Amino acid sequence: MAILLVAGVNAILVIGPFQSLVIIDVLLMVSSYALIFLAAVRLRITEPDLERPFKIPGGKIAMILLVLPPMALIALMVTITLGDHSLMLWNQDRFSLLGIEIGWYGLAGLVAILSGPLLYPVLRKQ
């Protein structure tokens, strides 16, 4: 189901410039990496003694310190993507969202990211 959903979204995005397809895909991928990092930290905090095949030594503090640099890079990348206005759609290079100017593919990526929590309860039942 996930592969079909991604293929459908990419089929729609192919209509626009290739650069936008790559940017939106990368935005979605780094969002999933951010969730993986947050899940690892949460698991280390809530289940510190859980048996694992490999465990990073150092406890909670070490895990948080290891996750901070990639999370900062993800935050920087998302900020740059949302603020970029280099591509035009319908003769418009930016949209205003709550008083913040966002590039159209940044807006499309944001909508795609927010669709996950909204669609999860519906698709989970299938």
Residue with tokens 């698709």: 123
**What rounded mean pLDDT belongs to the chain?**
78
Q: Mind giving me the DSSP string for the chain?
A: -HHHHHHHHHHHHTTS-HHHHHHHHHHHHHHHHHHHHHHHHHHHHH-TT---SS--TTHHHHHHHHHHHHHHHHHHHHHHHHH---S-BTTBSEEEETTEEEEHHHHHHHHHHHHHHHHHHHHHT-
Pick 95 or 29 by higher pLDDT.
29
Pick 62 or 111 by higher pLDDT.
62
Which whole number is the average pLDDT over 102-123? 77
| Rounded CA separation 17/114 (Å) | 22
Q: Which of 23-27, 61-65, 77-81, 110-114 has the highest mean pLDDT?
A: 61-65
User: Among positive and negative, which fits the CA dihedral 95, 75, 14, 36?
Assistant: negative
Task: Give tens-digit pLDDT for 24-76.
Answer: 778 888 888 999 999 989 988 898 888 888 878 888 888 889 999 999 999 88
Pick 125 or 41 by higher pLDDT.
41
